[in-house]
Amino acid sequence: MQYVHEETNSLDERCYKNFDLTPEILMEHAGLALARAVKKKLTCKKSALFVCGMGNNGADGIVAARLLYGAYTVSIYLPFELKSELAKLQLKRAKKVGVSVLNELIDADIYVDALFGVGLNRPLDELTCKLLKTLNAKQGYKIACDIPSGILNDLTLSSVIFQANETVTMGALKLGLLNDTVKDAIGDIKVANLGIARSQYETPSSNFLLRKSDLKLPIRIKKNTNKGTFGHVAIVQGSKEGAARLAGMGAFHFGAGLVTLIGEKPKKLPIYLMHSETLPKNANVIVAGMGLEMPFDEPALKTLLLANNLPLVIDASLSHHPLITEIIASQKPVVLTPHPKEFSAILELTCKEKISVEMIQQNRFKHAKHFSLAFPHVVLVLKGANTIIAHNGELFINTYGTPSLAKGGSGDVMSGMIGALLAQGYTPKDAAISASLAHALVSRTFTCNNFALTPMDICKGLKWL
């Protein structure tokens, strides 16, 4: 896992105070990292244009241009009058070594956005929006310095965002780079050191970026085992029985020893899935909500879910039903797996807050953390382009998901996978993290096109992780 920070000004200040570093030293290292990224895309026949703003983000771009000049064709475009004293100093140095400073936009092979950093606190004006539209229309490779211009420090967006192929962010990962709304604008993210190792620059954070190494597969180590060793997942089947079947397949393929669908006998069931009209006595976890169309037998379902101590995985239709408040109030271990619309319904039912899907998507982190603090015994898996696992004020962000997962049934499979890990002894948080990672990473193993992946392919792909 890697720390993710809501802001980094305090980390810069800590460098000044604790390590006797200066803003200029940090700026030189930021410029060097940016120059290295540009250099990888440059040849003697290619050119780079640094579009620099009036503050210290612009100064980082000016430093990078100065470092590259002489060996490569680079120039600086300044659309605004400089305000930062350090930016003015860096421009003076760049001019002395011969860097061309332009008063109009020119064509180049590489465009570097050094207009605004993470401190942007206002929507961009019409002139800047027009500039970004022009840059976005250019054919060259695009690199953003720290964060693409147009992303505000409160994670809201201007009407136009610089569309980067690559973002070189300074010092540490920023939360603003990981929101769903900017996934198409940031490109590949690289973190630049600022004169000290990243581990020295950073302080502990309650936000984490998940890495592949955080995936803990349910590999079977013990040899003296039987099917009961690996748990029994009970899945509530609704009127749309295919959803429960997919969840069952996900649970079975992810290591559960036994999987039973509860409800009316389905018309067709894979031979490795069992059926029962009642909760099996040896069940270890209950998965419910998928395919559960309303109206349903609410008293019976309430008894099934709450008249025992089994952990729950709750998905889909139950997010919209008042029963969700009793489930959470029961203090049972619960994993919720909503998409944003379902999460909006959960917030209204449990927190009495009417928050639209648009507002949730604008700042998913804030709403997920707020919910997790209100209900610390619940693990929230907020699905999206970047899935968030929230628990007791901590956020774990999974960025490995691909558009191929945007299919009906994909989420049902993941709910079953979470249930499988709970049945095998994982904590609710660890089950949610590892199932989410496995689910996303499977989608990356397929070499076919990105529109034909099916939920069954996800189940099959688990064999090769």
Decide the pairing of beta strands 387-391 and 394-398.
Answer: antiparallel
Contact indicator for 79, 131 with CB cutoff of 8 Å: yes
For the stretch 424-436, pLDDT in tens is 999 999 999 999 9
Which pair of structure tokens corresponds to residue 465? 């992780």
Point out the annotated binding site for AMP.
383-387, 411
Q: Could you tell me the maximum CA-CA distance found in the chain, to the nearest angstrom?
A: 82
Q: What's the confidence (pLDDT) of residue 294?
A: 73
Which pair of structure tokens corresponds to residue 211? 């890495």
Q: What does the mean pLDDT of the chain come to?
A: 94
Q: What's the confidence (pLDDT) of residue 230?
A: 96
Burial class (CB in 10 A: 0-12, 13-18, 19+), 168: buried
pLDDT class of 296 with cuts at 50, 70, 90: confident
CATH number of 213-464: 3.40.1190.20
Q: What's the confidence (pLDDT) of residue 80?
A: 92
Contact indicator for 77, 104 with CB cutoff of 8 Å: yes
Contact indicator for 388, 382 with CB cutoff of 8 Å: yes
Q: Where are the beta strands (DSSP E) in 237-384?
A: 258-262, 274-276, 285-288, 312-314, 334-336, 378-382
DSSP sequence for 50-114: EEE-SSHHHHHHHHHHHHHBTTBEEEEE--S----HHHHHHHHHHHHHT-EEESS----SEEEEE
Burial class (CB in 10 A: 0-12, 13-18, 19+), 254: buried
Spell out the domain ranges in the chain: 2-205, 213-464
Q: What's the confidence (pLDDT) of residue 420?
A: 98
Three-state SS at 380 = strand
280 preceded by a cis bond (ω within 30 of 0):
no
Decide the pairing of beta strands 141-145 and 285-288.
Answer: unpaired
Residue 281 contacts by C-beta under 8 Å, 6 or more apart in sequence? none
Same fold: 2-205 with 213-464: no
Work out the average pLDDT over 219-248. Answer: 94
Q: Kindly report the number of other CB atoms within 10 A of residue 276's CB atom.
A: 14
Q: Please determine, for residue 158, whether its predicted confidence score (pLDDT) is greater than 90.
A: no
Residue 303 contacts by C-beta under 8 Å, 6 or more apart in sequence? none
12: closest CA among 443, 4, 24?
24
Work out the average pLDDT over 29-42. Answer: 96
Q: Please determine, for residue 307, whether its predicted confidence score (pLDDT) is greater than 90.
A: yes
Distance CA(428)–CA(113), nearest Å, equals 42
Q: Kindly report the number of other CB atoms within 10 A of residue 17's CB atom.
A: 9
The fraction of the chain above a pLDDT of 70, given in percent, is 100
Indicate the DSSP class of residue 290.
Answer: T
Q: Please determine, for residue 295, whether its predicted confidence score (pLDDT) is greater than 80.
A: no
Q: What's the confidence (pLDDT) of residue 446?
A: 84
Which pair of structure tokens corresponds to residue 270? 């894979």
Helix axes 428-445, 410-423, angle to 10 degrees: 130
Q: What's the confidence (pLDDT) of residue 164?
A: 96
Contact indicator for 437, 400 with CB cutoff of 8 Å: yes
Work out the average pLDDT over 123-132. Answer: 91
Helix axes 85-97, 56-68, angle to 10 degrees: 20
Point out the annotated binding site.
56-60, 113, 117-123, 146, 149, 243, 291, 339, 383-387, 411-412
Q: What's the confidence (pLDDT) of residue 152?
A: 85
pLDDT class of 156 with cuts at 50, 70, 90: confident
Q: Please determine, for residue 174, whether its predicted confidence score (pLDDT) is greater than 90.
A: yes
Phi and psi at 152, nearest 5°, equal -85, 165
Residue 416's identity, in one-letter code, is G
Point out the annotated binding site for (6S)-NADPHX.
56-60, 117-123, 146, 243, 291, 339, 412
CATH number of 2-205: 3.40.50.10260
Q: Please determine, for residue 129, whether its predicted confidence score (pLDDT) is greater than 80.
A: yes
Three-state SS at 22 = coil
Residue 218's identity, in one-letter code, is P
Work out the average pLDDT over 175-199. Answer: 94
Three-state SS at 154 = coil
Work out the average pLDDT over 407-423. Answer: 97
Half-sphere exposure of residue 62, counting CA atoms within 13 Å on the CB side?
A: 31
Contact indicator for 334, 379 with CB cutoff of 8 Å: yes
Q: Please determine, for residue 259, whether its predicted confidence score (pLDDT) is greater than 80.
A: yes
Contact indicator for 428, 396 with CB cutoff of 8 Å: no
